[in-house]
Amino acid sequence: MDLRTVVRAIPDYPHPGIMFRDITTLLGDAAAFRQAVEELAAPYLGAGVDKVAGIEARGFILGGAVAHQLSAGFVPLRKKGKLPFHTHAADYELEYGRDEIEMHLDAVQPGERVLLIDDLIATGGTARAAVRLLQYFGRAEIIGAAFVIDLPDLGGSALLREDGVAVHTLIGFEGA
């Protein structure tokens, strides 16, 4: 199945000029959801993934399913103030603002092999902040970052690759 056919496009959301790519339609289609999870996990089968880190919120849904496929633990990367234990935060710029994400300091042990998962990569700000968090104090070995959707014109996947992170995407949409 071409996953592009089950991703809804919402123009001018959340701001004029933004074409929001909504994967809730993909998640609601059992066959498409299964395919996306299998395709996200496939390159990492047998790669010794210890943890899958998912970025709030859609990365939780996908990341949890991929972690299950890989028999790995799951690390939630949340918006600031949502985690109850000792945390570390990283800030980042969105294509339409600024935000912060954080993780528990004990979520990743030194040397663990971590796969980063989210629904979409645009400018790369969130994903790069996630990589910084996971590598905080030299903890995680990032073995890759996987996304359902790449918006290559916004340059995020290229920036991650320049940072030395292998990037795997399932589909791309040209333009912003």
**Euclidean distance between CA atoms 17 and 45, whole angstroms:** 39
* DSSP, res 108: S
Active site residue 58: yes
Which one is catalytic: 95, 113, 132, 141?
95
- Three-class HEC string of 47-72: CCCCEEEEECCHHHHHHHHHHHHHCC
Active site residue 38: no
Which one is catalytic: 21, 58, 78, 128?
58
Task: Evaluate whether 52 touches 75 at the Cβ level (below 8 Å).
Answer: yes
Q: Which residues are catalytic?
A: 58, 95
